[in-house]
Structure 1
Amino acid sequence: MSDQCFASTMNESFHEYEEYQAPVWMRAGIIAYISLVTISGTLMNGVVIIAFYKNKSLRTPLNYLILNLCVSNLLGTTASACLVIPVNALGEQIFGNLGCMIYVFTCGMLGVANLWTITVLSIAHYIVICKSRHFSLRRRHVISGIFFVWIWSAIWNGVLVGSGGYGSDKMKSDCGIVWNSVDKKIVQYTLYMVCCFVVPLIFLSYCYGSIIYEVRQQTKSSKASKDALPEAAKMVFVIMVAFLVCWCPYGCVAMLTMIKPNYKTPIFMDTALSFFAKLSFITSPVIYVAMNTKMRKRVLEVFRLRVRSANSESTMYKETHSAVKYPNKLYSVQL
């Protein structure tokens, strides 16, 4: 599609709002918010990446998925800052159609990669706990999953951006997908929403629901293992809430706009929900690292915030090769 067609798509998508310009105080607030998200995301995800680099004990198969999650989060916060801060500081779209297209593709790909990495993590836990007694998750399995995540994300976002379905938001403070674009192919957009948002939610619900059910079934006659059930349930609850809180408001409004293209959302809603979804770049390391006692201990040790005991090597082995015993099964997961 030519650059002129891209420009036409952008102009048509927000024509009725083209006279609106966000006031200076609002642009300053957006800059402050994105700066806070960028700094927090860079620190939290960067700490984990450095910890992986310095401590070989963290490089287990499942933790490679966590590393991939943190890398996508770090790139996502950086990409957001590179466009949103200059645009709002100068009060105009300075990068043109090409810059907007690259930004939408990059952020879309990183966001979908984020969600699908979480999904692959849930599938890995489901297979280990529910489908195999002594399943050995190897590095090649994880690498295959990571390749799938990035290829899947790149293909779907490439198709969407290639259809011209992007443009400036109503406040001219960001670039994003124009869900009510008059030029869009409804089947294309619907498949994107289903494959990139709905399917991960279904997988997450099924996998973690099955894990909770399996644990509950195997712990009915074991008091020791029952004590671990509330912790597992809490983790599942936090995972699901974080997913829903960050992405579902944006996804629901997007689907409503697709179904009813003439539906007029408040002028600030699209931008606010898009920025709110960027919080997922911060919540992921909190859930998978800060709430994981073993991972948190390793991170603290790497940065010399905790003194190792004399028997640290034996402790390391116990913490990186944990086994949960139930009456009928033994689940071994390398963390």
Structure 2
Amino acid sequence: MHPSGFSPNVSYYLGSHGEPPMPRAGFIFLAILMACFTGPAIVLNATVIIVSLMHKQLRQPLNYALMNMAVADLGTAMTGGVLSVVNNAQGYFSLGRTGCVMEGFAVSLFGITSLCTVALIAVERMFVVCKPLGQLTFQKKHAVGGIALSWMWSLTWNLPPLFGWGRYELEGVGTSCAPDWHSRDPQNISYILAYFAVCFAAPFTIILASYTKLLWTLHQVSNMACLEGGAAAKAERKVASMVIMMVVTFLISWMPYASLAMLVVYNPDVEINPLVGTVPVYLAKSSTVYNPIIYIYLNKQFRKYAVPFLLCGTGSSMEDEESELTTTMETANNKVLPAA
């Protein structure tokens, strides 16, 4: 047995004096914390997938992206979440180099797919409400195409480390793996910069632009309807609150992780405590809990079926209230569309 208490054939981080990055109690705390995120994430996302398969009403083009996000978030929770709990409980990464690469690839693939799907949802909502291409109807082929693009985009940018451009390495306190932000190798730095640009900056720009256009359109509808204080203005305020919540939770989940990565890339000599480096990792993984709540359980159609399912059928059916987007689209188009 290694003097530090670690098996010599496993991957782990050691401090400058050969000691673990933090006390055993710290690892146990991280295991419990990650379990608090992972357990609900698995239950919530699995529920969305199951009720979508059970009820044909939920299998509409406007809901495809929501279901895709649930699949991606479930994948993140089952790989990164569960393994983080197990490894932190042990106090080291126990899967070796191959396991590190596999976990880093899987978590990155599911995580970036989820991130791209959030951008896809923003674009869908903007197209349905703002109609930038006229009366183009959002159909199944558009939804399937967007979903396929999100997976292909994620796969395209997470495969290179398997073939030598970039690499997957231990991060934080050494109990999980991700793209290597620390290597000074020029090839690795070029990969990380490209990865940041296309897998974080690009989706965030799309989300911001789409929701800005959507909010502006809703504001115009409210003004044209001359119903300040009435239905259109009320709907505008509700959607604005929802959008702000979506953008803020996105930033809370992903901005610290992306910022820390860029800090390390631009200043390789910066000294970051392993525990401090772990917090952004867990914030990013916590999005698997926020996403289903914000995007799905606040959606009338999913909530109607998901809540009774979670309560084992004992809960009363949710009332058929009109969602904020439906109300706004009724005002703008004089017809009811499925809530997005």
Name the residue aligned to 1:217. 220
Cα 1:23–1:213 change in 2 (3 A) is same
Cα 1:18–1:284 change in 2 (3 A) is farther
Question: In structure 2, how many angstroms separate the alpha carbons of the residues matched to 1:78 and 1:138?
Answer: 31
- 1:170 CA drift (Å): 4.9
- On the 8 A contact 2:108/2:158 being kept in 1, the answer is yes
TM-score, structure 1 length as denominator?
0.86
Where do 5+ consecutive residues of structure 2 fail to align? 1-10
Name the residue aligned to 1:168. 170
For 1:270-318, what per-residue CA distance to the aligned partner results, in whole angstroms no more than 9, with x for missing partners? 1121112111011000111222233312323555345569xx9xx69x8
Name the residue aligned to 1:196. 199
Alignment of 1:40-51 (within 5 A): 40-51=40-51
Name the residue aligned to 1:19. 18
Cα 1:190–1:15 change in 2 (3 A) is farther
Give the AA of the match of 2:152.
Answer: I
Name the residue aligned to 1:178. 180
Question: In structure 2, how many angstroms separate the alpha carbons of the residues matched to 1:150 and 1:18?
Answer: 43
Question: In structure 2, how many angstroms separate the alpha carbons of the residues matched to 1:221 and 1:267?
Answer: 55
- On the 8 A contact 2:105/2:168 being kept in 1, the answer is no
Q: 2:330 aligns with which of 313, 321, 325?
A: 325
Q: 1:279 aligns with which of 282, 286, 302?
A: 286
Q: 1:230 aligns with which of 237, 253, 275?
A: 237
User: What is the alpha-carbon root mean square deviation over aligned residues?
Assistant: 2.7
The 3-state SS of whatever aligns with 1:167 is: strand
TM-score, structure 2 length as denominator?
0.85
For 1:13-46, what per-residue CA distance to the aligned partner results, in whole angstroms no more than 9, with x for missing partners? 9787582413210111121112221211011111
Question: In structure 2, how many angstroms separate the alpha carbons of the residues matched to 1:146 and 1:18?
Answer: 48
- 1:89 CA drift (Å): 3.0
- 1:55 CA drift (Å): 1.0
The 3-state SS of whatever aligns with 2:86 is: helix
1:334 and 2:335 matched:
no
Question: In structure 1, how many angstroms separate the alpha carbons of the residues matched to 2:25 and 2:255?
Answer: 28
Question: In structure 1, how many angstroms separate the alpha carbons of the residues matched to 2:57 and 2:308?
Answer: 11
Give the AA of the match of 2:182.
Answer: N
- 1:136 CA drift (Å): 1.6
The 3-state SS of whatever aligns with 1:180 is: coil
1:250 and 2:278 matched:
no
1:147 and 2:148 matched:
yes
- 1:214 CA drift (Å): 0.8
Give the AA of the match of 1:166.
Answer: Y
Name the residue aligned to 1:207. 210
Give the AA of the match of 2:57.
Answer: S
- On the 8 A contact 1:129/1:331 being kept in 2, the answer is no
Question: In structure 2, how many angstroms separate the alpha carbons of the residues matched to 1:133 and 1:305?
Answer: 45
The 3-state SS of whatever aligns with 1:193 is: helix
Question: In structure 1, how many angstroms separate the alpha carbons of the residues matched to 2:302 and 2:94?
Answer: 42
- 1:173 CA drift (Å): 2.1
Alignment of 1:270-309 (within 5 A): 270-300=277-307, 304-307=313-316
Cα 1:271–1:306 change in 2 (3 A) is closer
Where do 5+ consecutive residues of structure 1 fail to align? 1-10
Cα 1:166–1:308 change in 2 (3 A) is closer
Cα 1:158–1:18 change in 2 (3 A) is farther
Question: In structure 2, how many angstroms separate the alpha carbons of the residues matched to 1:184 and 1:77?
Answer: 32
Give the AA of the match of 2:18.
Answer: E
Question: In structure 2, how many angstroms separate the alpha carbons of the residues matched to 1:274 and 1:18?
Answer: 25
